[in-house]
Amino acid sequence: MAPVLEGIYREVASVRDEKRNLSAAKARVEQMHGEGMFAFARHIDREAREQFLAIMAGGDVAKAARDLDMRDSTLRSQLAKWPKRGKAYAALWEIVRWRKSIRGQAGMEFAKRVASGAE
């Protein structure tokens, strides 16, 4: 019976830790929202947001193009126009360029610094 109780205890502890982590993440997102970190999203269109998120999720433009059912060259030509469309688009372009420059290296460390407010 002891192994069963130990298993239950581990599961309860795991759920408690997960809830604590989710609560901390929620609080950080709320803080970031309060600081206006997501305000730029009001200044970009839905297509650009989808493209940007596909690049971040896929890791590169070629994968994003496939995910979006677009030709790679079409997506790249649209991205090349972003810097001329205003500050919000230029910021997206810089993030895409940064993502390419690190090729996934140190990306998680940077994300942690952003989430902690260090960046």
Q: What's the pLDDT at 38?
A: 75
Q: Name the nearest CA neighbour of 50 among 34, 38, 65, 32.
A: 65
Q: What's the pLDDT at 116?
A: 63
Q: Name the nearest CA neighbour of 59 among 115, 99, 112.
A: 99
pTM of the predicted structure, to 2 decimals: 0.59
Q: Quick: pLDDT tens for 2-51.
A: 888 888 888 888 888 888 888 888 887 788 778 777 777 788 999 999 99
Q: What's the pLDDT at 39?
A: 79
Q: What's the pLDDT at 70?
A: 95
Can you give the three-state secondary structure of 47-72, one letter per residue?
A: HHHHHHHHHHHHCCHHHHHHHCCCCH
Contact 90, 82 (CB under 8 A): yes
